[in-house]
Amino acid sequence: MTENFKRGLTAVAAVAVIAASALWIYRAQTSDRKQNVALHTHIGEVLAEQTAALAGKKARVVTLSIETKEWPELKTQIAAFKAQLKKLGDYEVREYEMDTKDQPKYGVGSGLSGRRYVRTVNKNKTADIFVSFIGAPHMTKEDLAELETKPKLVVEARAVDNLSKLFQHQILEVAVVSRFQFPSPAPEKPKTTEEWFIKRYQIVTATNAAGLPKPEPD
Protein backbone atom coordinates (compact mmCIF):
# COMPACT_ATOMS: atom_id res chain seq x y z
CA MET A 1 0.00 0.00 0.00
CA THR A 2 1.56 3.30 -1.11
CA GLU A 3 1.87 6.35 1.10
CA ASN A 4 -0.40 8.37 -1.21
CA PHE A 5 -3.06 5.65 -1.05
CA LYS A 6 -2.93 5.65 2.76
CA ARG A 7 -3.31 9.42 2.83
CA GLY A 8 -6.29 9.15 0.50
CA LEU A 9 -7.98 6.62 2.77
CA THR A 10 -7.37 8.85 5.78
CA ALA A 11 -8.88 11.83 4.00
CA VAL A 12 -11.94 9.83 2.95
CA ALA A 13 -12.40 8.55 6.49
CA ALA A 14 -12.14 12.10 7.89
CA VAL A 15 -14.76 13.39 5.44
CA ALA A 16 -17.05 10.49 6.37
CA VAL A 17 -16.73 11.29 10.08
CA ILE A 18 -17.48 14.98 9.48
CA ALA A 19 -20.50 14.12 7.34
CA ALA A 20 -21.82 11.69 9.93
CA SER A 21 -21.39 14.30 12.69
CA ALA A 22 -23.18 16.94 10.64
CA LEU A 23 -26.05 14.56 9.95
CA TRP A 24 -26.34 13.68 13.65
CA ILE A 25 -26.40 17.36 14.64
CA TYR A 26 -29.02 18.13 12.00
CA ARG A 27 -31.25 15.27 13.10
CA ALA A 28 -30.86 16.17 16.76
CA GLN A 29 -31.73 19.81 16.15
CA THR A 30 -34.67 18.91 13.90
CA SER A 31 -35.96 16.42 16.46
CA ASP A 32 -35.66 18.91 19.32
CA ARG A 33 -37.43 21.58 17.31
CA LYS A 34 -40.33 19.26 16.49
CA GLN A 35 -40.59 18.19 20.12
CA ASN A 36 -40.60 21.80 21.35
CA VAL A 37 -43.21 23.26 18.99
CA ALA A 38 -46.08 22.23 21.25
CA LEU A 39 -44.33 23.59 24.33
CA HIS A 40 -43.52 26.97 22.77
CA THR A 41 -47.02 27.20 21.38
CA HIS A 42 -48.29 26.69 24.92
CA ILE A 43 -45.96 29.40 26.25
CA GLY A 44 -47.39 31.86 23.75
CA GLU A 45 -50.92 30.89 24.75
CA VAL A 46 -50.13 31.29 28.45
CA LEU A 47 -48.72 34.77 27.82
CA ALA A 48 -51.90 35.66 25.93
CA GLU A 49 -54.14 34.33 28.72
CA GLN A 50 -52.21 36.29 31.34
CA THR A 51 -52.44 39.41 29.17
CA ALA A 52 -56.20 39.04 28.73
CA ALA A 53 -56.71 38.41 32.44
CA LEU A 54 -54.96 41.68 33.26
CA ALA A 55 -56.24 43.83 30.40
CA GLY A 56 -59.85 42.75 30.17
CA LYS A 57 -61.76 42.00 26.97
CA LYS A 58 -60.55 45.07 25.08
CA ALA A 59 -57.17 46.79 25.24
CA ARG A 60 -54.21 48.26 23.41
CA VAL A 61 -51.31 45.81 23.57
CA VAL A 62 -47.65 46.41 22.70
CA THR A 63 -45.35 43.43 22.16
CA LEU A 64 -41.56 43.57 22.43
CA SER A 65 -39.45 41.02 20.59
CA ILE A 66 -36.57 40.60 18.15
CA GLU A 67 -36.16 39.27 14.61
CA THR A 68 -37.27 35.63 14.71
CA LYS A 69 -35.11 34.30 11.87
CA GLU A 70 -32.53 32.90 14.29
CA TRP A 71 -35.16 32.02 16.89
CA PRO A 72 -37.85 29.70 15.46
CA GLU A 73 -39.21 29.05 18.95
CA LEU A 74 -39.84 32.78 19.35
CA LYS A 75 -41.71 32.84 16.05
CA THR A 76 -43.88 29.98 17.33
CA GLN A 77 -44.57 31.77 20.62
CA ILE A 78 -45.56 35.05 18.99
CA ALA A 79 -47.85 33.37 16.47
CA ALA A 80 -49.55 31.38 19.25
CA PHE A 81 -49.82 34.51 21.41
CA LYS A 82 -51.60 36.50 18.68
CA ALA A 83 -53.90 33.62 17.75
CA GLN A 84 -54.92 33.01 21.34
CA LEU A 85 -55.34 36.70 22.12
CA LYS A 86 -57.68 37.03 19.15
CA LYS A 87 -59.89 34.36 20.69
CA LEU A 88 -60.00 36.09 24.07
CA GLY A 89 -61.19 39.57 23.17
CA ASP A 90 -60.83 42.66 21.05
CA TYR A 91 -57.20 43.77 21.15
CA GLU A 92 -55.24 46.29 19.17
CA VAL A 93 -51.71 44.88 18.97
CA ARG A 94 -48.65 46.94 18.06
CA GLU A 95 -45.45 44.95 17.56
CA TYR A 96 -41.92 46.23 18.19
CA GLU A 97 -38.85 44.31 17.03
CA MET A 98 -35.81 45.59 18.91
CA ASP A 99 -32.56 46.08 16.99
CA THR A 100 -30.15 43.68 18.70
CA LYS A 101 -27.05 45.22 17.08
CA ASP A 102 -25.68 41.64 17.16
CA GLN A 103 -25.45 41.73 20.95
CA PRO A 104 -25.46 38.16 22.35
CA LYS A 105 -27.58 39.16 25.36
CA TYR A 106 -30.69 39.14 23.17
CA GLY A 107 -32.71 35.97 22.87
CA VAL A 108 -35.94 34.33 23.95
CA GLY A 109 -36.55 35.64 27.47
CA SER A 110 -33.53 37.94 27.62
CA GLY A 111 -32.03 41.17 26.35
CA LEU A 112 -34.52 43.97 27.10
CA SER A 113 -32.81 46.94 28.77
CA GLY A 114 -34.49 49.45 31.03
CA ARG A 115 -33.60 52.26 28.67
CA ARG A 116 -35.18 50.57 25.64
CA TYR A 117 -38.28 49.73 27.67
CA VAL A 118 -38.68 53.30 28.94
CA ARG A 119 -38.29 54.74 25.45
CA THR A 120 -40.90 52.39 24.01
CA VAL A 121 -43.38 53.04 26.84
CA ASN A 122 -42.98 56.80 26.52
CA LYS A 123 -43.72 56.53 22.79
CA ASN A 124 -46.89 54.52 23.49
CA LYS A 125 -48.54 56.32 26.40
CA THR A 126 -52.03 55.17 25.43
CA ALA A 127 -51.09 51.47 25.52
CA ASP A 128 -52.74 49.47 28.28
CA ILE A 129 -50.32 46.59 28.53
CA PHE A 130 -46.85 45.61 27.30
CA VAL A 131 -45.74 42.04 26.65
CA SER A 132 -42.03 41.29 26.40
CA PHE A 133 -40.79 38.06 24.83
CA ILE A 134 -37.21 39.19 25.46
CA GLY A 135 -37.04 39.35 29.23
CA ALA A 136 -37.76 41.80 32.01
CA PRO A 137 -36.06 45.22 31.79
CA HIS A 138 -33.15 45.95 34.12
CA MET A 139 -34.17 49.38 35.36
CA THR A 140 -31.98 51.89 37.16
CA LYS A 141 -33.20 54.79 39.29
CA GLU A 142 -32.76 57.02 36.25
CA ASP A 143 -34.91 54.69 34.12
CA LEU A 144 -37.65 54.68 36.75
CA ALA A 145 -37.57 58.46 36.96
CA GLU A 146 -37.91 58.83 33.17
CA LEU A 147 -40.88 56.46 32.92
CA GLU A 148 -43.82 58.77 32.19
CA THR A 149 -46.53 56.15 32.71
CA LYS A 150 -46.77 52.68 34.20
CA PRO A 151 -48.67 50.34 31.90
CA LYS A 152 -49.17 46.74 32.94
CA LEU A 153 -46.23 44.53 31.98
CA VAL A 154 -46.11 40.80 31.24
CA VAL A 155 -42.77 39.18 30.44
CA GLU A 156 -41.16 35.93 29.49
CA ALA A 157 -37.81 35.76 31.27
CA ARG A 158 -34.93 33.35 31.62
CA ALA A 159 -33.41 35.02 34.66
CA VAL A 160 -35.24 36.12 37.81
CA ASP A 161 -32.60 38.29 39.50
CA ASN A 162 -34.29 41.64 38.74
CA LEU A 163 -37.94 40.62 38.98
CA SER A 164 -38.37 41.38 42.67
CA LYS A 165 -37.36 45.02 42.12
CA LEU A 166 -39.86 45.39 39.27
CA PHE A 167 -42.66 43.97 41.41
CA GLN A 168 -41.76 46.31 44.27
CA HIS A 169 -41.93 49.34 41.97
CA GLN A 170 -45.22 48.09 40.52
CA ILE A 171 -43.70 47.88 37.04
CA LEU A 172 -44.29 44.17 36.53
CA GLU A 173 -47.53 42.22 36.83
CA VAL A 174 -46.74 38.71 35.57
CA ALA A 175 -43.57 36.85 34.58
CA VAL A 176 -43.39 33.47 32.86
CA VAL A 177 -39.91 32.34 33.86
CA SER A 178 -37.58 29.39 33.53
CA ARG A 179 -38.21 27.23 36.57
CA PHE A 180 -36.11 28.21 39.60
CA GLN A 181 -37.93 26.30 42.35
CA PHE A 182 -37.31 22.59 42.60
CA PRO A 183 -38.46 19.91 42.67
CA SER A 184 -41.02 20.66 40.00
CA PRO A 185 -44.64 19.66 40.77
CA ALA A 186 -44.80 18.05 37.33
CA PRO A 187 -44.39 14.27 36.97
CA GLU A 188 -40.82 13.03 36.63
CA LYS A 189 -41.63 12.00 33.06
CA PRO A 190 -44.09 14.60 31.67
CA LYS A 191 -46.49 13.42 28.99
CA THR A 192 -48.72 16.40 28.25
CA THR A 193 -47.76 19.90 27.10
CA GLU A 194 -49.07 21.33 30.36
CA GLU A 195 -46.86 18.93 32.35
CA TRP A 196 -43.82 19.90 30.28
CA PHE A 197 -44.63 23.58 30.86
CA ILE A 198 -44.86 23.07 34.62
CA LYS A 199 -41.62 21.11 34.62
CA ARG A 200 -39.66 23.81 32.79
CA TYR A 201 -41.47 27.05 33.63
CA GLN A 202 -43.42 28.79 36.35
CA ILE A 203 -45.62 31.86 36.59
CA VAL A 204 -44.62 34.59 39.04
CA THR A 205 -46.92 37.38 40.21
CA ALA A 206 -46.80 39.93 43.03
CA THR A 207 -48.64 37.49 45.28
CA ASN A 208 -46.06 34.69 45.01
CA ALA A 209 -42.89 36.71 44.40
CA ALA A 210 -41.60 36.43 47.97
CA GLY A 211 -39.25 33.61 47.02
CA LEU A 212 -37.51 35.60 44.32
CA PRO A 213 -33.89 36.76 44.77
CA LYS A 214 -33.48 40.14 46.44
CA PRO A 215 -33.04 43.07 44.05
CA GLU A 216 -29.50 44.21 43.39
CA PRO A 217 -28.56 47.73 44.55
CA ASP A 218 -28.38 50.38 41.83
In a domain? residue 14? no
CA distance 76 to 108: 11
Q: Which domain holds residue 131?
A: 36-211
pLDDT (0 to 100) of residue 61: 98
Residue 4 lies in a domain: no
In a domain, 22, yes or no: no
Task: Tell me how crowded residue 196 is: count the other CB atoms within 10 A of its CB.
Answer: 18
Rounded to whole angstroms, the Cα distance separating 149 from 153 reads: 12
Rounded Cα distance, 81 and 68, in Å: 14
Cα 160–Cα 111–Cα 169 angle in degrees, nearest 5: 50
**Residue 30 confidence (pLDDT):** 36
Q: Is residue 137 part of a domain?
A: yes
pTM, rounded to two decimals: 0.82
Residue 18 scores a pLDDT above 60: no
Please tell me the distance from the alpha carbon of residue 202 to that of residue 218, in angstroms, as a whole number: 27
**Which one, of 90, 88, 143, 91, lies nearest residue 120 by Cα?**
143
- 15 occurs within a structural domain: no
pLDDT for position 102: 87
Confirm whether 2 is domain-assigned: no
8 Å CB contact between 173 and 152: yes
- Label the pairing between strands 174-178 and 201-205: antiparallel
Mean pLDDT of 56-63: 98
Which residue did the predictor score with more confidence, 13 or 197? Answer: 197
The mean pLDDT value of the chain amounts to 87
Instruction: Tell me the per-residue pLDDT of 188-208, one tens digit each, with 9 for 90 and over.
Output: 999 999 999 999 999 999 999
What confidence tens digit (pLDDT) does each residue in 76-115 have?
999 999 999 999 999 999 999 999 988 999 999 999 999 9
Is residue 180, in this structure, part of any structural domain at all?
Answer: yes
* Structural domain includes residue 24: no
CA nearest to 93, candidates 122, 131, 120, 56:
131
For residue 168, pLDDT beyond 90: yes
Identify the CATH number of the domain in which residue 110 sits: 3.40.50.2300
Number of domains the chain contains: 1
Share of the chain above pLDDT 70, in %: 81
